[in-house]
Every structure is written in C-alpha cells, then in structure tokens.
Structure 1
Amino acid sequence: MTRALLGSAALSLAALSPAFAQTEITFFYPVQVGGPLTEVVDGYVAEFEAQNPDISVEAIYSGSYTDTTTRALTAARSGTPPTVAVMLATDIFTLIDAEVIAPLDEQIATPEDQAWLDGFMPAYLASARLDGHVWGAPFQRSTAVMYYNKEAYAAAGLDPETPPVTWEEMVEHGKALTIRDDAGNVTQWGLGIPGSSNAAHWLFGALVAQNGGQLSSEDGLHTFFDSPEVIGALEYWVSLGAEHAIHPPGVLEWGTTPSDFMEGRLAMAWTTTGNLTNIRDNAPFDFGVAAYPGNPDPASVLGGGNMYIFADASDEEKAAAFQFIKFMTSDELLADWGIQTGYVAPRDGSWDTQALQDYVTEVPQADVARRQIAVSVPEISTYEGQRVNEVLNAALQAALTGQQTPEAALTAAQAEAERILSVYRD
C-alpha cells in the first residue's frame, strides 16, 4: 500500500486517538501461508508508528497459528503476555476460559468506534461474539477455495471455465485430469485436499457442510463426529484415493500443496484464499479459482484469525492496542491486505474501495471467496479446541492412511472429544 493511501486512513484514526506517552506494545503475528507476509506486516507497523509516534509496536513473528496460541498462552501465564495478537477465531473459547483476553468492545468510546465495529461482515464478526461481548476484530480471514489448472483442463478435454459443482463432477474431472506414465506412475493427480494436522479439520469442515452436517455446536460444548453426515463426508474423502484413484495416497501436506499445484503435480487443489497472491505470482500456467462443490448444495468453511487484546495489559497499553487494531482493520488497509495476500477483506467497505475494485477487475479470482461467504460455515470451535482438533485430525489421518475405517475412526474420536468437553458442561 502506498504511504499516501495508508496515511489517509491512519490520519483519520489518529485524529480520534487520545494522547499516549510513548506506549510500547507487542504484537504476535502468525506466519502460516506462503508469500512475504512479514515484509507486508512490517510495512503496516512502520506506517502506524509514523502516524502515531507516541506508540511503539514490536512485531513478533510467532510461527503457525498453533505455535502463536501456545506461545501467547505460555507468555500470559508467566506474566509477560503480548499486548495484542492474531490468533485463530476458533481459539475464542480457549482464550476466554484461560482468562487471558479482554473484551474488545470495552474499548468502544465514540460513535466512530461503534461505526468501525459495525463495519465488519456479520459472518466474520459472529466468530468474535460470545457471552454478550465482542472479543476480537476480524483481520486475517479467509474461506477455503479450489484452485484449478486451466491448461490441464484444456489438455484433458474439459472446459477450463466450468469447474465441478458437485462431488460427482469433481470425481469425473479428477479422473480426466489424472495422468500416468507408461510405467503406470502418476505424474499429475486430479485433486489434492491437504490432510495434515494443521489443516485437516478445517478443510474437512467444508466436506461435512457439503454433506449437510456440522462438526460442533455453537456453544463449543458438543461435537458430532459420529453423525451419518460426518462419517459420509470422510468416506467420500477416503474414496478419492482408495476407490477413484484421483488423489495422492495417504496424507497430503498443507505446506506443500501450493507448490504441488504450481509445479503440476496437482490439477485441482483445495487450500486457503490466503495463497492466491503466492499462486498468482508463481504459477507458470493460467489457473482458475472456484467455489467448492456440493452434495448437492455447495459449501465452504470460514477460517483465519482475529486480533485480540490481552487482559493483563495496562489501560494505556490496551488503548494503544485498540488504536493499532483499528488501523490494521480499516477499510483501506484490509483492502490492501487482501490484494497483497489473497485473504478476504472482512469489511464491506473494503470491497467498495477503488483499490480493491480495480484489483477484482484485474484478478476476478479474488472475488470468488467473497461470493462464497454466503454458503460458508464457521470452522469447528470448542473448548479445549487444540485438544479436540488433535483428536479429530488423528481420526482423519487414520482413515486416510487406511489404518481404520472412517466410521471406526470417527466413533472413537467422538467418544474422546465428549470426554474432554464433559467437564465444561453443567
């Protein structure tokens, strides 16, 4: 983002700021997907400090989302928490239960503050609402989408402008796109859905929604892993490799999926919108971005992180962190963040900016995620979220590797998840 563009947003926010006496805040940010994200965030931090010379922001790049949450919780328990951090929206139950974050809405002091809060898309703000408070600001938000190689489509005799819209069509396209050499070795798989432990539960949530099910209750106290809809979704995922032979065997890694796609090993790939810029900059072929298919109704899953203020910060630090959050989630900056990364700007006002409108005209793939929000469901979110996700991911991997049937794996996972969550129910 240019300094002039960012400066106008920052100046408008700075005009609302109280006077700070050289307040220092720490900012934990998860580096999770491809691309030079640290450089982009460093630029935003520098611009904020230029517009707010009495606030100093130390940006700490803290690994994956899981790493960031673990690191932030450990720091909070040792008495040295960050002031503000980007952590998964689904961490809200864990963070509130640990009493480490402060309600964000306690910082709302002016009509302008309220207008800023009201500007977030309801689908994304909903994940920050609990117990009568708003606990975080949507920032690094996404939906999962399907990237597909248009050149591979054409070579297979498929229409490059008509990606699959049902599970059956995805299998049909996958068979046409899977290529084997004379020795029978696959040189191009039709489809890849990452099943590694940092992604399986997220993408599986989309399959479950497409099959008419859900993974967890809204109150975070129950899971439904052994329901027919959930078991059926996993049976379909397993069948892509075991029966239809269009998917790599075993567990596809989240981190290598973009490169597998860009290097031609996958003709269709499920991953985050946050990889759009990386793929656009590096794919040596024309590609498309498609909404997920359905069975029969399409569905995807919302994902990504919110910005949280930590409870043990001083009042001055909380006020400074709030100013920083408003800056980072202004219409203009979130528009630029979407352009720079591929994440979905979670504010309607961002999509009204000239910058994002021009970008969508140039890169129409960027608008797929926004249009898919209407049929997207929340990511699985429960108390003891990391433990519950680990249980689910282990079950998914056991089924994908053929160690257990989907029904056996998910039935065992449901029993363990219920054991974990039972202590939180009256």
Structure 2
Amino acid sequence: MFDRLKLTATTCALALGLATAAQAVELEFYFPVAVGGDAAGLIQRMTDAYMAQTPGVTINGIYAGSYADTTTRLITASRGGNPPHLAILSAVDVFMFLEEEIIEAWDNHLSEDEIQTWIGGFYDSFRANTLVDGLQWGIPFQRSTPVMYFNREAFAAVGLDPDSPPASWEELVEMGRSLTLRDGGGRVQRWGLRIPSSGFPYWLFQGLTAANGVELMNAEGTEVFFDRPEVVEALEFLVSLSQEHEVMEPGILDWGATPRAFLDGNVAIAWTTTGNLANIRNNATFDFGVAMLPANTQRGAPTGGGDFFLMSGHNDAETRAAIDFVKWATAPEQAAQWSIDTGYVAPRADIWETDTMRAYSEEVPGALVARNQLEFAVAEFSTFENARVRQILNDNIAAAIVGEKTPAQAMADAQAAADAILAAYR
C-alpha cells in the first residue's frame, strides 16, 4: 500500500527539491472510480504519501464518482472559473476537453529531456488516445484492456484443459457449451460466458471488432466505420452467443454485476477490465485464470481507462507542482504498487522491471496478460461529440442484443446517426 511506500534516494532528492520550489502550493485533484475494490482509498493514501515527503504541497483529492460524473463536475467547475489543477479522466474524452479549451498539453510545460525520457517512456498504445496534433494531452495512469477471466476449476470439472482457455471465437462457443450447466428441467445453473452489455458496451464490442480486423473510428475522431461488414459480423457473433448458441444469458448484462457473477460461480468465463484483477484475486474462492480475448481473424483488444489531465487556468508554480506530483505517481515504484493494488496495467516498461513488479508477476502471472495484449491493442473508441456518438453505438448494440433490430440494421442506423453528427468536423 502507498502508506508503506519507501522512496528511493532519487525520489527523495526530487521531493526535497520540490519542497523548496513549490512552497505553500495547494492543488485540487478530481478522480473517478470505475472498478471494484478500494481505488478511492488507494488514491488518498497515494496523495498522503506524497504530501508527507513534499512539505509545502497540499493535494486535495476529491472522489467525483464515475468517469462520466467526474467529467460533468470538471466541466461545470471549469466553466465556472474554478477548475481543479489535475483530474483523472477517461482518455477517450480528449476531443471534448480540447473543444472546451480546459486542458493543457503536457509538452508545453516540459523540457525536451522530460518529453523524451518521461512521456516517451509510456507505451505507445496507451498514449494513442490522447496524442493529438503531435502533442500529449493525457498521461496514462489507470489504464486497462479487457481480458478474459476463467474459472479453472469449472474447466477441469467438465473435462476442459484449464491451461488452454478459448483462443478463438469458435473455441469460445465450443467451451461455452461445455461450461453451461443446466438442471434436469433445463434451467441454467451456470452460464458458460458473460460479456457485459451495459456500462461500457462499446468497449467490449471493440474486443470483437478488433479481433475481426477492423477499427471503429479514424485517429482524427471525425469518422466512424460502424456499417463495415466486419463490424456487422462481430455484432452478429455477439448476438448469437445467447440467441443461437445459448452459452450466455440473454438480454442486457450489467457491467458492475459481472465480477460478482464470476466470483459467485454463476458464470465460468467473464470479460471485464484487467482493473478488476485485484478485486477478483482478493475474493475468488476458486482457482482462476486470465487470458487474452479470443481471436477471429487476428488478436485484438481496445485499451481503456483514465489519464492524468492538466487543467488550464493556473499559475506556473501550481502547474509545475501538479506536473511533479504526476511524475512521482507514475515513477516505477509508485506505479508498480498502484498496479498491484488495483489490477490496472502498469503503463511504462520500466515499471515492469522493478523488483516489486517482477515478484508480483511471478506470483500473479495473470497480470502479464494485459501487458502482453498491448501488442495487439487498438485505441479505445473516441470521436468528436464522443458521448453522443458513443451513445448511438451503445443504443444500437443493445437494440440488436434484445432483438429490436438485426445487427446489420443496427449498425446501418448507427452509421447514419453518427455521420450526421460528425459531418461538421470533417
């Protein structure tokens, strides 16, 4: 935990230097929580640890709810002339923040050496969402990819190899059938598979579209590709899991209830964020495994999660103090502990080289899955007017799942509605 962190000599020297350079600086810091466990408590302990070692800097960490709640509160505060100094926000909302003119590019406040050695040290796949016009607008922190959790004991009980989870869509269906248990009356006692379709349906859907070799949007955030055949095929497959193959509970499946459904043994395979790893590890009463999302034409998964954003409207001393806190929080030892305590993916290669992270990876090899999946990762869905466009996609995914539309019609409708919004940005 962060209250037990020991600073290296280098970090101590940095902290002492900051104490002189940033006397009596008070920072306000908004953060969300989107996973199970005690992420809010961890943030508080992290800021407490930093303040204890950096006299003169006060950080008021404010838990602001979900990502959406935090964004709403941030925009309200910024429009009212009282923005926080820092916020952890969803990386995909970067275009909104740019339109609102409420964030600062980190590059504009850093030396060339800091840009090269610090910003350049983050994984490219995590930087992608907030690298706009050649500038870095977000610093990766609580980053994730969706992964596949599976109940190894359930696999063994039905004659499946616990060391060989499904690696393809075909295997996902075949194993899902074996893992779905029914009583004598045909009532399901355990579902083989659960892919949540509320909360972040577009995100897990990207796990299917990326595995089918297609992106959902361009890098400029001005165009979407919802009606491509590969996207329609991915939605057809998602719908078929409950309607045709009967390996997944029908209807809209709740995001927040998914870890509990897995932990309670109600589902044998669950797709959710790697950010739930600590929660599942701490609470599972059975042996479980973690695997990459299965492939169709290729491996693929979206990145996800939140970045540190530097807010506009503050003086140089406050801005510099905010930067130095983020540099400390993302330094190897601190970031390693954060990754271990939450399950989020450590966003830099040097974090994985620490003794702390090496030991953890040996103890919990599942932690390496999300990192290794970055090789195949695509940027999380993000466009201008992202909330509106994303809701269009979510609504049409839901319409296909509940049978109100065919997958082809749902994606055609989503394409037309999104095009009408994004035309102004092309």
Unpaired runs of 5+ residues, structure 2, are none
| Alignment-mate amino acid for residue 408 of structure 1 | Q
User: Corresponding residue for 1:216?
Assistant: 217
Distance 2:130 2:265 in 1: 38
Give the C-alpha shift of residue 150 in structure 1. 0.5
Deviates more, 1:208-217 or 1:170-179: 208-217
Q: Give the % identical residues.
A: 46
Give the C-alpha shift of residue 294 in structure 1. 0.7
Give the C-alpha shift of residue 15 in structure 1. 4.9
**Residues 210-240 of structure 1: per-residue CA shift (max 9 Å, x gap):** 1111110110000011111111100000000
Matches within 5 A, 1:282-293: 282-293=283-294
User: Corresponding residue for 2:325?
Assistant: 324
**Residues 336-377 of structure 1: per-residue CA shift (max 9 Å, x gap):** 111101110010000000000000011111111111110111
Distance 1:136 1:180 in 2: 48
| Structure 1 position 310 matched with structure 2 position 311 | yes
| Alignment-mate amino acid for residue 119 of structure 1 | G
| Alignment-mate amino acid for residue 29 of structure 1 | F
2:149 pairs with one of 130, 147, 150 = 147
**Residues 299-335 of structure 1: per-residue CA shift (max 9 Å, x gap):** 1111111100111122222111111111111111111
Whether the 8 Å CA contact 2:302–2:378 is kept in 1: the answer is: yes
| Structure 1 position 184 matched with structure 2 position 209 | no
2:166 pairs with one of 155, 164, 167 = 164
Give the C-alpha shift of residue 92 in structure 1. 1.1
| Alignment-mate amino acid for residue 349 of structure 2 | D
User: Corresponding residue for 1:117?
Assistant: 119
Distance 2:125 2:84 in 1: 27
User: Corresponding residue for 2:130?
Assistant: 128
**Residues 146-196 of structure 1: per-residue CA shift (max 9 Å, x gap):** 000001101111001100111000000000000111221111000000100
Give the C-alpha shift of residue 122 in structure 1. 1.7
| Alignment-mate amino acid for residue 224 of structure 1 | F
Whether the 8 Å CA contact 1:192–1:269 is kept in 2: the answer is: yes
Distance 1:402 1:71 in 2: 36
User: Corresponding residue for 2:45?
Assistant: 43
| Alignment-mate amino acid for residue 264 of structure 1 | G
| Structure 1 position 366 matched with structure 2 position 375 | no
User: Corresponding residue for 2:347?
Assistant: 346
Q: Residue 303 of structure 2 aligns to a residue in which SS? A: strand
RMSD value, Cα = 1.4
TM-score scaled by structure 2? 0.97
Give the C-alpha shift of residue 127 in structure 1. 2.2
Query: In 2 relative to 1, CA 282–369 (structure 1 residues): closer, same or farther, beyond 3 Å?
Result: same
| Alignment-mate amino acid for residue 246 of structure 2 | A
Whether the 8 Å CA contact 1:167–1:296 is kept in 2: the answer is: no
**Residues 115-169 of structure 1: per-residue CA shift (max 9 Å, x gap):** 2222211221222211121111100011110000001101111001100111000
User: Corresponding residue for 1:383?
Assistant: 384
Q: Residue 146 of structure 1 aligns to a residue in which SS? A: strand
Distance 2:195 2:314 in 1: 40
Whether the 8 Å CA contact 2:3–2:45 is kept in 1: the answer is: no
User: Corresponding residue for 1:30?
Assistant: 32
Give the C-alpha shift of residue 113 in structure 1. 6.2
Whether the 8 Å CA contact 2:345–2:371 is kept in 1: the answer is: yes
TM-score scaled by structure 1? 0.97
Distance 1:307 1:6 in 2: 23
Give the C-alpha shift of residue 16 in structure 1. 5.2
Distance 1:112 1:211 in 2: 38
Query: In 2 relative to 1, CA 112–132 (structure 1 residues): closer, same or farther, beyond 3 Å?
Result: closer
Whether the 8 Å CA contact 2:180–2:192 is kept in 1: the answer is: yes
| Alignment-mate amino acid for residue 289 of structure 1 | V
| Alignment-mate amino acid for residue 359 of structure 1 | Y
Whether the 8 Å CA contact 2:293–2:300 is kept in 1: the answer is: yes
Q: Residue 249 of structure 1 aligns to a residue in which SS? A: coil
Q: Residue 240 of structure 2 aligns to a residue in which SS? A: helix
Distance 1:317 1:57 in 2: 11
Query: In 2 relative to 1, CA 113–234 (structure 1 residues): closer, same or farther, beyond 3 Å?
Result: closer
Whether the 8 Å CA contact 1:7–1:47 is kept in 2: the answer is: no
User: Corresponding residue for 1:102?
Assistant: 104
| Alignment-mate amino acid for residue 81 of structure 1 | P
Deviates more, 1:384-393 or 1:15-24: 15-24
Whether the 8 Å CA contact 2:217–2:225 is kept in 1: the answer is: yes
Unpaired runs of 5+ residues, structure 1, are none
| Alignment-mate amino acid for residue 14 of structure 2 | L
Give the C-alpha shift of residue 78 in structure 1. 1.3
Distance 1:16 1:22 in 2: 14
| Alignment-mate amino acid for residue 271 of structure 1 | T
**Residues 16-44 of structure 1: per-residue CA shift (max 9 Å, x gap):** 53612311111111111100111111111
Whether the 8 Å CA contact 1:262–1:282 is kept in 2: the answer is: yes
Query: In 2 relative to 1, CA 108–150 (structure 1 residues): closer, same or farther, beyond 3 Å?
Result: same
Deviates more, 1:176-185 or 1:140-149: 176-185
Query: In 2 relative to 1, CA 13–421 (structure 1 residues): closer, same or farther, beyond 3 Å?
Result: farther
| Alignment-mate amino acid for residue 213 of structure 2 | G
Q: Residue 118 of structure 2 aligns to a residue in which SS? A: helix
Distance 2:160 2:14 in 1: 50
Distance 1:245 1:156 in 2: 17
Distance 1:362 1:254 in 2: 28
| Alignment-mate amino acid for residue 73 of structure 2 | R
Give the C-alpha shift of residue 406 in structure 1. 0.9
Matches within 5 A, 1:69-80: 69-80=71-82
Deviates more, 1:125-134 or 1:29-38: 125-134
